[in-house]
Each structure stands twice: as structure tokens, then as C-alpha cells.
Structure 1
Amino acid sequence: MKSPPGPPTGDVTFLFTDIEGSTALWDRMPDAMTESLAEHDRRISSIVEHHGGYVFTTAGDSFAVAFQSAPQAVEAALEVQLAFLEPAAGLTFKVRIGVHSGVATVRNGDYFGAAVNRGARLSASAHGGQLVLTQATVDLLAGRLPAEVELVDLGTHRLRGLTEPERIHQVCHPALDREFPRLRTVEGPDDHLPTQLTSFIGRTRELRDVMGLLNEHRLVTLSGAGGAGKTRLAMRVAEELLGDFPDGLRVAELGAVRDSDVLVDEIAQRFAVTRVAGTPLVRSMAEYIGAQRVLLVLDNCEQIIDPTAGLCRDLLMACPNLRVLATSRERLGVAGEALYRVPSLSLPDEGATVDEAYRHDAIRLFVERSRLATSEFAVTPDNVEAVVSICRHLDGIPLALELAAARTRSLSPAQILDRLDERFRLLTAADRNAEGRQRTLLSTIEWSHDLLGPDERLLFRRLGVFAASFALRSAEHICSGDGIDEYDVTDLLMALVDKSMVATDSARDGTTRYVLLETLREFARRQLDDAGERDVLAQRHAEHYADLAAQLQAQQRDGDLGGALIRLDQDEAEYRASLRHTLGARQLTTAGRLVGGLGYLWYTTGQHREGLQWCDDLFALEPELADQVLADALHSHGSLLGVMGHADRAVEALERQVEIRRRLSDRERLGAALNNLGDWYFELGRNDAAESVLAEAIVELRSAGSYGVSLSLGTLAAGRFNQGRYGQAERDFAESLEEGRRADHAHSIAVAMCGLGRCLLALGQADAARPHL
């Protein structure tokens, strides 16, 4: 079979190759590489021609080839890998190959479009000697594989620079290596980059500049006004540099953080570092990071500039290979910091032609987002003047462009331009003290807001009560009523998403979350204040999240601690906002419900300092609470006091809780309270008191039929073990294990087995201990 006379069209399968490590080979042996690369090119060209491939690009040691059919492409790719099992003119090359199928645009013998980009990114994700296919190619193969070939599903991955994830398969052949490191995609160790639901446009120079700064400086801050695209640029830089940080990256969103201790806790969580008694948490973080090559991205630092600067200074001094990329409306002010002001997107001159306009990022972003609103949108000779004027009026600010582009669903570019002109003249005259771009952004937001229907405007301003992302159900509960039916919230929210007034995100549990961008949230809150609804909505918000805190408490007690922690993480900013409001407004019952519901989760996640501060703030106000609310709040307070080293105060709180639980006649909760109290009595050396309350706890929990009896037996056993009473402790742990298995409670079983193994070791029975440990 010969190569086709021209480029294949329609559904095309693309094959991309390049040599892994070629730069190092050129550096070490340039003369040998010249001859070997010529042999490399000859082999690939011959194989491609034999299988009917069309070479449309070669650059350095890479080939880009188009095939009319997927089987032809895969056969050619396999033959290439087999051909390089033998050295090429004395050098052994490891060639990585990616094959993807799709529709692309042909222009002057070259290919353009998403399918080409995806194929190139796929090849870059592979390792030398590896051949990978996308699901699109596998589907076209329809089982028609070369002899001795099998496919291994490598799962779904996000390719760098692309929005939609890709299912990737590896071609396996007996003569080829089968085992490779993980693909070079964006799911690296602890990378946790937020999912981007729209494509990244342009910013080639900015990406190059920021990556260069990070290569030279250990702290780089991206600054600019709201809507300038700081966050999106930071995340793209992090994605591009992923391979330079073998120990991964961490991303911390600081927009909702106001307290310096909470800041430290927030970042420590990203490294899974917890507090150690007597050791500052920053030092524990620094010791954990050590010499690791890690990129830390801190987003929206402007709310807490000074503490963030101090933390960055401490970590950078202690961790020689740490790099920090921050976004803020102002510099952090740390020695050695490089500041990069994020510019607006590039703009064409007035009178630009269609081809000239498309060379500029502002136009490309406007067009791309307009196509999300109406797929047929394009810049034409008839509308290019209006499109260019819109982008120039908006100063190339990404958020402003996206808001305007959303209107192309119902307005032509000329109509959009007319309305922008009217609004800009009005608002520029109204506020001449603001900077020009801020006036422009405010104008665009107000203009987009005024185009909303009355109910959409009402919901939009009420969404300003949220501190960060939120679930649909939360919006329904908090924002309905007084003019909005709960059943209408979904449709109204979807309309706001369609009009780019609300963004979406994917949660860890697979659900969709909703969020107002920072600038839009500030605008919505001003609207909420002007309508006199701020306090009413804040109280609804707090009561709703108090209900959710109770649900998390029940979920955790039912054994699903992991699920409860995921939900806590998703709504953490909302819980903080609710506590801040209820304590400030002295709505202490709601504050008590929040503290009572969240206390154990704070304890478990290591947010001890923050949780204790909320508890201390509540009890400093001497709240008069119903017994159930007070008992739960005291449980949280006592647990957190203890873990923070205030054992005497912890016992006081837990004793008070026990007194209230006796009045409530809830045997299970009384038993749990007695168990916690007994644990701290042991801690203080009050062993007789501990034995007494734990004996009562076991009776109460047995009567309630609760799995907690296993935990109380374990607490009793641990206290006796620490006193050297190993025989008694062994019997107690054995009984605890029996109760845990009877209740089928995994946590209780694990605690009992570990304790029993330790007892057996202490008794010199190592062989008997081993199965338990």
C-alpha cells in the first residue's frame, strides 16, 4: 500500500511519535545522533508509506501522520515500535507513540483542530517504547487488532491542556515492554488540580513568562484586578509544570480564610500534616516537605496578605526545593518574591480583518465562549468590526469577555455593542474615581445583571450569601421563598449558569457544585445589601448549614466517616461563614448546633485549633442553650480542649456534658459521654474514677444495643495497658473485639485488634500477636 496522494479527510486517525530523551542524546553524542536520526526517519517514513499514511508534520525527531483508517494507523504504530527494538545506526531509541481519531480541518496540507491537539497531548503522556490509543480509536478498531496484540485499559485521564478527560488504552505485544510508569497526565501525586470545564485560550507569552519566573524565583505572585484571569493562568502554569515537580503540587483556595491559624491549618491539610503536641504546625509542615520538589499554589491571598506572607517566608526558608505560585490583588511583600501583573488579553486594532482579529487572544476567547452559547457563531467580514469593538471596549478582560459572549445566544455582535456603548457612557459618568478597567468590569457585570429576568436577578443576589461553592439543594433551601418557589430554583440557577453569572464545578462525590466568581459574588452582596436582605439570608444560610452539620454528625456515627469528611471539605467555607455570622449576631442556638455537629469532624481532620477557637468563642458568650444542643457543644469543646493539651478544662466540659446527658435519658449518648470522660480520667491518672465511669458506660451502651460498647471496652483496656495490667487489658481487648465483630463496626474492630496485638506482644506472645497487627 502506498501513501495517499493527498491528506485524508473526514474521520481521520492521527499517529504522533517522538523520541524520549532525545535532547540528552544530542547533548552527549551529537555526531552519532545525526546518523542515527537519519536512520530513524528512514524507518518511520518507510513504514508509514507502506501502511498508507500521510506525513503532515515533522519537527526534530517527531512525526505527525494521518491515516484514513484506524486499523492502518495501529498496524503502522506497532511496526514502528517493533522496528526500534533494534538500534538505529548504533543508538537505541525509545519512541513513544499516541494514536487518536477524530475530525480535523485541512489547510495547505496541514491539519488543525481539537483532534490534532488531543493526539499530540496523548503522545506526550506516554513513555519511550509505549504505544497508547484513545477510546475513539479503539471504537473504530471494532476488535480488528494485529496478531498477538491485546489492549490494556489504563483508565480515564486528563491530558495536559485539555478540558475533557480521555480513556486511554495501551497496545501490548509479546515483543514489547508491558510495564511502564504512570502516564504523564495531570493526575500526579497529590496534584488535585481543580477541574476546568472550559478551554484555556491563548496566554502563550504569559505562560512562558510565568514559567520562566518560577524557574528563577521560588515565590511568584500573579497580581491583577478581579476578573483578570489570575486563577486560571496559575492553574494552567501548574499543569504545564507538573513534570518538573516529582513530589507533586498542592492547591489551597484562600478566598474564604480570614484567620491566620485557619490559614496554617488549611495549608497543612493539603500536605496531610496534623498537629503534634509541643511542635508548631508550620515546623511540622516544613519537616514533612523537607527537600521534596513541590509546587504550592495559593489562590486569592488578598484577604489574608500578612499571615500568608509570613507562612511563605517560613516554608521557603526551611524547604530548599519548594516553589510557591500565588494569586493576589497585591504583592505578598516577601524577600525574593517576583511579581507578575496579569495583563488583559491581546487586542487587534480597530479596522482589523477577520484573519488579523483571530491572531489575538481576546477575539479567540470571545469566539470560543460565544460558541458555547450558539455553536454556529463565527467572526465574519460582516461582524468583525463589531466583535473587535466589543473586545476593545471591554479592555480584553477575560471575565468581561465571557459575560458579553454569553449574550450572543440572543443578540448579534452589533446589538451587544450598542448596549455596551449606552451602559459605559452612563457608568463612566457615574463613578470617575474608579480605575478605568474596574469601571469597565463593573459596567459589564451591571449590564449583564440588568439583562436578567426579575426572578433571575432575585436569585442571583441571594446567591451572594454563599462564601464559596454550594450544592443545588442548599440554594433551594436558602434562596427560595419571598418571591421564588423552591421548585423554580433549579431552572433559575441553570439560566444563571447559561448566562455566565454562575459557574459550575465537579465535586469529589460526582455531584455538580455551583459558585459565583469572586467579582460577581461581591456584586451580588451589594445587591443583597441594597435590598435589605443580607441579615435574613445569612440567618437562613446558618440554619441550613446547622441542619447539614447534624446530618454529618449522624453520618459519622453511622460509620461513614469518610463520606462525612468529604461533605465537610466541600462546604467548609460555608460552615465558617455560618459560625462567623451566628456568633456575631448572637444567634447562639444555631451556633451551638454548628459546633456540636462539627466537633468530632474537626477533631478527626486535625483542625483542632480552629475548632477549639469556635467553641471558646461560643462559650465565652455564656449561651443559654437547650440541653441537647448544649450537650453536643460540650462534647465538641471537651474533645478539642483535650487534644490541644487542656486536660483539666476538657474534664470539666465532659463532666458537665455527662450531667446533662443523664437528664436527657439517652442511654447511647450518655454511654458515649461517659466513655470520653473515662478516657480523660485515665489521662490525668484518676484511674479509679476512670474505671467507675467506664463500667457505667459499658452498661449503658449494652442496654442501648450500641456498637459503642466495643469502644468503651477498648478505652478501659487501653487504660489498664498503660498501667502495666497486661492480662486484664488482653481480656478487655478480646471482649472489645468480640463486640465489634458482633456489631460489624470496622473502626471498633481495628482498634480492638491493634490493642490486643500490643497486649500479646507485652506478654511475650509475639506469634499470637502477629495476626492482630
Structure 2
Amino acid sequence: MAPLRLPPPGAQDPLDYPAVRLFTDRAVAVRHDFAVTPDNLAQVVGVCASLDGLPLAIELAAARLRTLSLAEVAERLDDRFMLLSRGSRTALPRHQTLRAVVAWSWDLLDPEEQQLARRLTVFVGGARVEAVRQVCDAGPDLLESLAEKSLIELSGGRFRMLETIRAYGAERLAEAGEVTATRAAHAGYALDLATTADAHLRTRDQLPWLARLDEESDDLHAALRWAADTGRLDLGLRLLAHLACYWWLRGYRTIGSHLAADLLERVGEEIPDGLEEEYALCLLTAGAEGRGGPRVQKWAVEVALAVRQRMPFRLEFLTMMLALFTGPPDEPMDREPLLLVATPWTLALSRSGDGFACYLEGDLPGAKAAFSESLAEFQAIGERWGMTQVLSGLQDLAVQEGDHVTALTLADRALGLAEELGASADAAEYLCRKADCVVHLGELADAEAIYLRAAERARRVGSLEMQARAHLGLGLAARLDGRPGDARAYTEQALAEVPDTWFSSGDIKVRAHAALGWLALDAGELTAAWSAFATAIEQAVSPIYLIGSSAVEGLAETARRSGDLDLAARLPAMMPAELAHVARSAGRQ
């Protein structure tokens, strides 16, 4: 039952591969008008791959084209044993159906081999030897025996089961009454692995552990879903809490948010005793990407403010997630008490929070000192994600000082670290930051190319926020290049794309409305310009966001062009609330 070779992704000529040739030959035998074309090639390859390249399965699937379309065959492969239940009338009985041939091979196994084979079906992405030992209570000798009999295959250090065999084995697992016990063992293994890995994710060893979690991600997520579906909510909360940092560093935030929201729906609003931090991380992970709607986001802020008093936390990563909802501290934290109990990563993060607090207050020297100290602390422990955050703060300071060459260097450093982490959404952000600097340096064509790279990177990982950020940058570059039509189209696209649920998206909206204001001002449309700048300023008034300086400058310039020189002079010095009031009031006149 050895499988035939399948074309790898992107193969130049899939028809050269035995599995595809066999399907094509058998299909033509039952339907003389059948031909592989560019329109159906992907489906043919998909059917062969779904059937693991098994010759009998491919022959049976092709034979069903006598009465079904290719699309119908592909759709019904989820129940492959029912679909492929009729084969050649002249074949031996054991070869007449796919189920029969798998059963025949299965029956050749001894009881210990059958037990291992059925228990292996709980693994989604294959398993290392140590995982098999913990979950299936079996060692390498039995694994090698199954491999010799073509029931499993060894690839990249992991034993993987063909999906056809796995589907059959899952039925046998249920018959043996072992589903619950084996899945519980599988979830226990997932929790042990996630807990061990999480302790290394904020150290210089983070890259190999991120790679290990990537390798196991299908099984980690399957274990989490099983815990949620079967009401093992304590287990689910602990597992999710130790996966949250992995999702964040790797840029898998949408996946994590979906899983967190699903678990949260089952847990409800009652916080389990002793799992307050796990519950908070679950809530914040769901709320950060907007899952669950405004109710969950409001609830997340309330929980964040409540648990903030418990710092430092058992779960290090909760410190970072908390800051998303509560913002940086109102004033620099007293580090003396923290030195006694906090981890080096938490200390470095708290120092970066001091930097952002100083920046928001306009204390640029204090911000630079705090960021520099935080960067040194993150470098000492080798934690790349923390370094990127501090480098972005230092870049903002350099931009404030008009030093775009230094800002470009800092953006490049942050981009390199994000690339090392494999964090595509973060890399898209640093590409945008780099392009911003290039715009200020006057290289508009280069900047547009970088923004386009950022947009494509963001599109591939589904980051609407960074896609909007890139399109906003393209609008700025187009405006400066004298293409107002392109500038408006890109800016309106950014406004349409930016989600309403992500806190930093507020900055994109502020900048987009300000950009529309400048476009209106360029066109001499003073009323439209004032309205756009006023909208930007109103949205910027928040404990988290700085007032958009571009919008304030634009409002003052609009007032000057309208002949109100006194107002134009006073606007830049106004406090945020007064500024928003004036913007709204004048806009209604």
C-alpha cells in the first residue's frame, strides 16, 4: 500500500507525477471525454493528495467519475470510505473497496501495533517519539514496525499517518472506547509542551522554541479546541495562557483571537478560582483583535484595570497584554519593589512603558533615557520582540527631532529582528516605518515600493491594520508626488480597511482623516479641509493617542487661509479637549 509520488506545491508539470497520471488514466477509462486542463488541474492534484497518493484509493476515486463530476468527488472526500465503496467487479474481494483494503492491512497488525495505530490518530500533524511515548504509551520499536508496514511514515523527525489510514484508525479508536483517555493524554502533552516553551519565548532561546511550536501548532490548537468542546475549561485556559505569547510573537494574532473567543464563550463571565491571570489573558487575547464585539472589549478593559493591581504577574506575558488595554503607566513605576520579584523581561518591559509614558507627556529626554535603558535590558536577555518595541519608540523620538536618517536606521534594525522572529504583521509595520523615513528623505519612488511590499506582506497574513497603514503611506507618497487622485484613493482605501477593534488602529484613522484634510486644502476646499482635520482631532483625543500634529497644523493652516489669523496662532497651544471643542464648534458655523 505504498503511496505514489505526488507533485510538490508549485511543481512545473504535475502530470509528470505517478499519482496524477494514474488518476488521469483511470478517469479517461470511465469517461472518454475527461481531460486534465488548467481549470481542473488543481482539483485533480487535490484529490490525489487527499487520498495520500494511495493507488487503490486514486483508482476508486477516478472510477466514480462515471456518475459524479470531479468537483463532486473532491467535495465528498471527507467521507472517503462511503464515496469509494465500489471498485472493480473483477478484483479480489479485499481490493473491491478502500475500506476493505485498509481493513486487510490493519488485520495484519498484532494487537499492540493496532493499539498504537488507533491512538496515533489523535495527532493532527504527526508526532515525535517522545510525544508518542507520553500519549500512546509506546516506544520507537512499535513505531518502526508500523513504518515498515506502510501505516505511518517518518518525515522531518516526526511520524505521520496517512489521512486514509488515520480516518480508519479513528473509527477503531472509538470502537475500543479509548477516545476520551487518548485525547486527554494528547491535551496533557500539549499543555506540558506549551508551558515549557513559554518559559523560553522571552529569552535569547526564543527562535528554536518558536520553531518547535510552529511544528506542533496543529496539535496544540486541536488540543485547545478539544478542551473547549468537552468542557475542560481549566485545561483550556492554562493551555491558551501559555500559547498567547507564541501567537503574538509569531504574528498569529487572528488565529489566537478566534481560539480565545471560542473558549471564552464557554467559560462565560465567572472567573475560575486560581485562574484569574489565565482568564485575563484569554479575555485580552480575544478582545485585542475584536472578537466578541464591543461587549468583550469593554469587559476586557474592566478586567485589565482590575488585575493591574496584582502586578507582577505569574504569567509574564499578561504584563504586555495588559498595556494594550490600559495604556502606559500614568507615571514611571517604582522599580525598587519590582527588582525583588519581577523577571528580567518584566523589568525591561516596565522600563519601556516608562518611555512611552514620558513620550506621551512630551518629556522627550526622559523617554529617550527610559527607552535606552529598556533596550539594554532586552539585549541582555536576548529578547528580540521587546527590542523591536523599544526601537520603534526610539524611532518616534528621532522623527520628532527631525533626524530621519537615524529613524531609518532604527526602523531597519527593528525590521531585521521582526524578520528573525518570523512575525510578518510586525515586519509589515516596520516596512511602513522605514518607508515613512524614506518619504521624509525625498525618495518617493523608493518609498512607494516599500509600502507596496508592506501591503503585500500584510495581505498574506490577513493584517487589515497593517494593510491600511501601508495604503495610507502610499497615499502620502502620491500626494507629495503630485497625484491627488491616487492619494485620495489610497487614503480612502485605508479608512475602509482599518478595523474598528484594534487600539493602534486609532492612529491610522487620525492620520487618514488628516491626510484627507490636506488633500482638500490643496484643492482649496476649506470647509471640507476643516471638517476632515476636526474629525482627526476628535478621534485623537484619548488617553492612549497623541493629538495628531499633522491635523493640528492643518487646522491652523485652514484657519489662516480663512482669514482668522488669531485662531490660527492659538490652535497649536490649545489643550486637547479645548482643541476638539473649537474644531467642532467652528465646523458647525
TM-score normalized by the length of structure 1: 0.42
Superposition deviation, residue 764 in structure 1: 2.9
Contact 2:277 2:318 in 1 (8 A): no
Sequence identity (%): 21
In the TM superposition, what is the alpha-carbon distance from 1:213 to its structure 2 partner?
4.2
Please list, as runs of the form range in 1=range in 2, the aligned pairs for 1:641-660 lying within 5 A after superposition.
Answer: 641-644=287-290, 647-658=297-308
Please state if 1:491 is matched with 2:491.
no
For 1:604, the equivalent position in structure 2 comes to 249
Whole-angstrom CA distance in 2 between matches of 1:200 and 1:711: 53
State the 1:550 CA deviation. 1.0
* Distance in structure 1 (CA, Å) of the matches to 2:188 and 2:142: 23
* AA partner of residue 580 (structure 1): R
How far apart, in 1, do the equivalents of 2:123 and 2:392 lie?
Answer: 43
Matched ranges for 1:236-255 at <5 A: none
- Report the AA paired with residue 376 of structure 2: E
The aligned counterpart of 1:451 is: 108
Q: Does 1:632 align with 2:296?
A: no
**Contact 2:368/2:397 (<8 A) preserved:** yes
Give the drift of 1:497.
Answer: 0.6
Contact 1:737-1:752 within 8 A present in 2 as well: yes
Question: C-alpha offsets along residues 344-385 of structure 1, whole Å, 9 cap, x if unaligned?
Answer: 99x9xxxxxxxxxxxxxxxxxxxxxxxxxxxxxxxxxxxxxx
State the superposition RMSD in angstroms.
4.5
- Please name the residue that 2:175 is paired with: 530
Return the alpha-carbon distance in structure 2 between the equivalents of residues 658 and 535 of structure 1. 38
| TM-fit CA distance, 1:726 | 2.9
* Structure of greater Rg: 1
Output the amino acid matched with 1:641.
G
1:618 matches 2:231: no
| Structure 2 residue aligned with 1:328 | 74
- Cα deviation code 1:46-83 (max 9, x no counterpart): xxxxxxxxxxxxxxxxxxxxxxxxxxxxxxxxxxxxxx
Provide the C-alpha distance between the structure 2 equivalents of 1:443 and 1:770, rounded to a whole number of angstroms. 65
- Pair 1:710–1:330, CA change in 2 (3 A): same
Q: How many residues align?
A: 377
Whether the aligned pair in 2 keeps the contact of 1:726 and 1:763 (CA below 8 Å) is: no
Tell whether 2:29 aligns with 1:215: no
Partner Cα distance (2:410, 2:55) in 1: 49
Residue 519 of structure 1: how far off its partner (Å): 1.9
Tell me which residue corresponds to 1:393. Answer: 91
What SS does the corresponding residue of 1:393 show, helix, strand or coil? coil
- Give CA-to-partner distance per residue, 1:177-212, whole Å, 9 cap, x none: xxxxxxxxx99xxx688xxxxx96475475799997
1:327/1:526 CA distance change after superposition, 3 Å: same
Matches of 2:36 and 2:206 in 1, distance apart?
Answer: 42
2:127 pairs with 1:503? no
Contact 1:670 1:697 in 2 (8 A): no
Residue 351 of structure 2: aligned partner: 713
Q: Which residue of 2 aligns with 1:691?
A: 330
Give the structure with the larger helix fraction: 2
Gaps of at least 5 residues in structure 2 are 29-33, 57-70, 412-589
Q: Give the direction of change, closer, same or farther, for the CA distance of 1:218–1:649 in structure 2 (3 Å limit).
A: farther
Deviation readout 1:232-271 (Å, 9 max, x if unpaired) = 99xxxxxxxxxxxxxxxxxxxxxxxxxxxxxxxxxxxxxx
Structure-2 change in CA distance of 1:640 and 1:697 (3 Å): farther
Residues 722 and 219 of structure 1: CA distance in aligned 2, closer, same or farther (over 3 Å): farther
Q: Which runs of no fewer than 5 residues in structure 1 stay unpaired?
A: 1-160, 164-185, 194-198, 234-324, 333-340, 348-390, 395-420, 425-435, 481-485, 507-511
Structure 2 residue matching 1:556: 3-state secondary structure: coil
Is the CA contact 2:261–2:286 (under 8 Å) kept in the aligned structure 1? Answer: no
Residue 567, structure 1, aligned to residue 212, structure 2: yes
- Give, in whole Å, the separation in 2 of the partners of 1:212 and 1:726: 69
CA distance in 2: counterparts of 1:721 and 1:656, whole angstroms: 25
Report SS of the residue matched to 2:38. helix
Q: After TM superposition, give the deviation of residue 456 of structure 1 in Å.
A: 1.0
Letter in 2 for 1:587: R
* Alignment-mate amino acid for residue 302 of structure 2: E
Of 468, 471, 476, the match for 2:128: 471
Give, as a single letter, the amino acid of the residue that structure 2 aligns with 1:505: S
Q: Distance in 1 between matches of 2:407 and 2:47?
A: 61
Q: Are 2:395 and 1:757 equivalent residues in the alignment?
A: yes
Q: 1:224–1:329: 8 Å Cα contact kept in structure 2?
A: no
Map 1:11-30 → 2, pairs under 5 A? none
Contact 2:204–2:382, Cα closer than 8 Å, also in 1: no
AA partner of residue 463 (structure 1): L
Does the 8 Å contact 1:468/1:515 carry over to 2? yes
Partner of 1:521: 166
1:418 is matched with which residue?
Answer: none
For residues 702-738 of structure 1, the C-alpha deviation after alignment (integer angstroms, 9 at most, x for no partner) is 7535133222222332344345443332222122223
Deviation at 1:594, TM superposition (A): 1.4
The Cα shift of 1:644 comes to 2.9
Quickly say closer, same or farther: Cα 1:576–1:676, change in 2 above 3 A: closer
Q: CA deviation at 1:696?
A: 5.0
**Within-5 A mapping of 1:406-421:** none
Q: Following the alignment from structure 1 to structure 2, what is the Cα–Cα distance between the partners of residues 472 and 562?
A: 22
